[in-house]
Structure 1
């Protein structure tokens, strides 16, 4: 058999490198404090751990066997009870919810379930880095539109609210080949919570050009202050053309559980179901049962201040503000996020010698590599969340994760204050 039979298929070209693998390894190699990858370094809440413990020890043999392919009955029923009021409609748990392997699996199934070769998919930048490879694997072509900073170059903190989509630029990307648009709100890495006006603008274009919306809402509960998360599926004319992605890992601070879901009309969800059943078939029964129990635990108080979904944002705001204060001291001006658990900081005013790094790489990539090696602190360069044509929008920033123990963040404070003394 000829050697070219073993070459990487073209659909995977350009997807070989992975930022999480590269920078996590870099942090380990240099024994650096890693505020790059987004996961808590503390346990999920006790009621979630108890749910898993009870599921493992309750003696029900079925918890160790296959469950329904499209989602464990108890979990999809719990999700229907949680999301029906949020969606302003009764969601059929058996036909309008799909459980997959994390939000990754939900996105992969959804994209492959609707995209045919040659279809175009509009991606709002900055975007989570798996979107573009998933579109390519499905045979589609990504078309990029950036959220741009309206206060770039301003000395002092700015807000994620100051980053805007240009409606004319966005509409110029819609055409007869456009099959879908992917949005992420609250946005990673920016922390932008899309306003009603912005979502209405996107909705108008989706309806005008008959386009499907895939709305990645994994940080839906992590919204701060007066900001409000609005589901685009609830806007007029959007339920029938929207697939909404959620995450148990982000919801319950248990990212390693890898359970996600897609919610949408049955006819639109059918392709995702077909993709899922022929790829993963089903997800671990024990974990699905435990997540169902966790939701059931919170359902009676979901509209009260005591609900975990309302408590978690309050718990991490001080962590966010700790980094904001520190970056202000550094002159590394923060972009204050309204949601999620990441903070972008402007490094354009930080003068460091990057001559030892790869000159072909974007400035933020070189900066993070330099910082990891020389200051023992790792972040993520936001330019990886942009297409090549728009990398310059993100290359003067770095992204830090703040959903960490205070002891972890205090170590970052020490590193940065010592660095400041040498400036």
Structure 2
């Protein structure tokens, strides 16, 4: 109990001073253009909005009441059809799928029901920051393996950030329970290729590790790259839980509809926890997502699919913002997927920040606070996505969200153009 209390107290203190919360509060107070928050500020597609409207106003009044605790029947059925096709596995909607209140709650459920106190879990850096918080709340131990960039002469790209196979192997101990794999990756935008995923899958099979595959950006892939699903690799289905998100797929992040897909012995544990801790998820949004997926299934890889048009549109926004950043003196690392651009700020650090005492805040955090105040532009420091031990690798990088309206991007351009002129 004392240990748990100490962990909770430490986490409470850390979250109270969380840079993301601090910077978003400063952005709101200063009227800054906020490219720190990771969500689209444009409208979702008409057909999914219409599906929700019809669910709410139609004749089926039971859609306003509780649905099946482990997933609305219509939704789990279409998810089984979609992912059976994507994974080349025949999925049972009852045994292989759990719908959750966003992928975030799915991740939390995994940490609370399958990960135990004392378990070690490998995180590839930069990592989605809630991974660390959720594991520590559970009493588990994050073990960090950083990706490092290399220069092959092809320019700045997320694909050039790689892990060292020997370093990854050496991170495994007799206490290692799992590895968290985020692809496409938040914040870097890296899309792991087949060779990299094979190295990870070989490690999982060799050491009998669970793989938590966070694939919420699965449809946001650029430059004709391919999203490869590690659950489809040999001997990986039985040890992989894949996380998906309607919020990211259909640009409805406020609906909070997500899912976990995996083998029966793992999903059953999650279902039992979900029933005890959550009970059931909202019915109306699950119904609307099901209707939208039913529309997508026959056209998944055609130009008519929303997933394809969204990816193409976001690729254009990515290219625009990368250009704006480069013109202003940033060095944009072009992402192959996801919502974010990581940018090198080495060339534009204010002179007052070039040197700092070791006890002071990280350079990137100080820069982000300066930018949101002096330039009215909110970005996030990359150090929040790294462990303390590896923070030195990222202190001259920031994360910037490009999944925004054209108006928002134009406002950012005006700031960056003025930045460049000055």
SS in 1 for 2:348: coil
Aligned position for 2:369: 369
Aligned position for 1:9: 5
1:246 aligns with 2:244: yes
Maintained 8 Å contact 1:157/1:333: no
Maintained 8 Å contact 2:19/2:365: no
Aligned position for 2:76: 76
Maintained 8 Å contact 1:363/1:396: yes
1:284 aligns with 2:278: no
Aligned position for 2:121: 121
**Compared with structure 1, are the counterparts of its residues 164 and 260 closer, same or farther at alpha carbon in structure 2 (3 Å cutoff)?**
same
Aligned position for 1:183: 181
Q: Structure 2: how far apart are the matches of 1:287 and 1:32?
A: 32
Q: Structure 1: how far apart are the matches of 2:408 and 2:113?
A: 41
Aligned position for 1:381: 381
TM-score, length-normalised on structure 1? 0.95
Deviation for aligned residue 1:299: 1.6
Q: Structure 1: how far apart are the matches of 2:349 and 2:140?
A: 41
Residues 158-169 of structure 1: pairs in structure 2 closer than 5 A: 158-169=156-167
Higher helix proportion: 2
Pick the aligned partner of 1:264 from 262, 265, 272: 262
SS in 1 for 2:380: coil
Q: Structure 2: how far apart are the matches of 1:35 and 1:77?
A: 37
Maintained 8 Å contact 1:112/1:271: no
Q: Structure 2: how far apart are the matches of 1:164 and 1:217?
A: 18
SS in 2 for 1:123: strand
Deviation for aligned residue 1:353: 4.1
Aligned position for 1:141: 141
Aligned position for 1:38: 38
Maintained 8 Å contact 2:329/2:420: no
Deviation for aligned residue 1:357: 9.7
| Alignment deviations for residues 4-42 of structure 1 (CA, whole Å, 9 cap, x no partner) | 99x992232443314432221110111111001111111
1:173 aligns with 2:171: yes
Pick the aligned partner of 2:272 from 271, 274, 294: 274
SS in 1 for 2:343: strand
Q: Structure 2: how far apart are the matches of 1:195 and 1:95?
A: 29
Q: Structure 2: how far apart are the matches of 1:65 and 1:124?
A: 41
RMSD (Å), alpha carbons = 2.0
Q: Structure 1: how far apart are the matches of 2:182 and 2:289?
A: 23
TM-score, length-normalised on structure 2? 0.95
Range with greater deviation from structure 2 (375-384 or 7-16): 7-16
Maintained 8 Å contact 1:109/1:273: no
SS in 2 for 1:349: helix
1:196 aligns with 2:204: no
Q: Structure 1: how far apart are the matches of 2:268 and 2:19?
A: 32
Aligned position for 2:323: 325
Deviant stretches of 4+, over 6 Å:
none
Gaps of 5+ in 1: none
| Alignment deviations for residues 365-395 of structure 1 (CA, whole Å, 9 cap, x no partner) | 1111000000000011111011111112221
Maintained 8 Å contact 1:381/1:399: yes
Q: Structure 1: how far apart are the matches of 2:60 and 2:20?
A: 38
Q: Structure 2: how far apart are the matches of 1:171 and 1:92?
A: 34
Q: Structure 1: how far apart are the matches of 2:395 and 2:11?
A: 20
Q: Structure 1: how far apart are the matches of 2:247 and 2:268?
A: 24
Deviation for aligned residue 1:184: 0.3
Q: Structure 2: how far apart are the matches of 1:398 and 1:14?
A: 25
Q: Structure 1: how far apart are the matches of 2:356 and 2:100?
A: 40
Maintained 8 Å contact 1:42/1:405: yes
Q: Structure 1: how far apart are the matches of 2:83 and 2:361?
A: 43
Maintained 8 Å contact 1:243/1:262: yes
| Alignment deviations for residues 103-144 of structure 1 (CA, whole Å, 9 cap, x no partner) | 110101112221122111111111111101111222211101
Range with greater deviation from structure 2 (66-75 or 133-142): 133-142
Q: Structure 2: how far apart are the matches of 1:12 and 1:273?
A: 26
Maintained 8 Å contact 1:357/1:370: no
Gaps of 5+ in 2: none
SS in 2 for 1:91: coil
| Alignment deviations for residues 25-79 of structure 1 (CA, whole Å, 9 cap, x no partner) | 1101111110011111111000010010000000322111111111101000011
Q: Structure 2: how far apart are the matches of 1:217 and 1:100?
A: 15
| Alignment deviations for residues 275-298 of structure 1 (CA, whole Å, 9 cap, x no partner) | 211221111001111110111121
Maintained 8 Å contact 1:354/1:370: no
Q: Structure 1: how far apart are the matches of 2:317 and 2:49?
A: 23
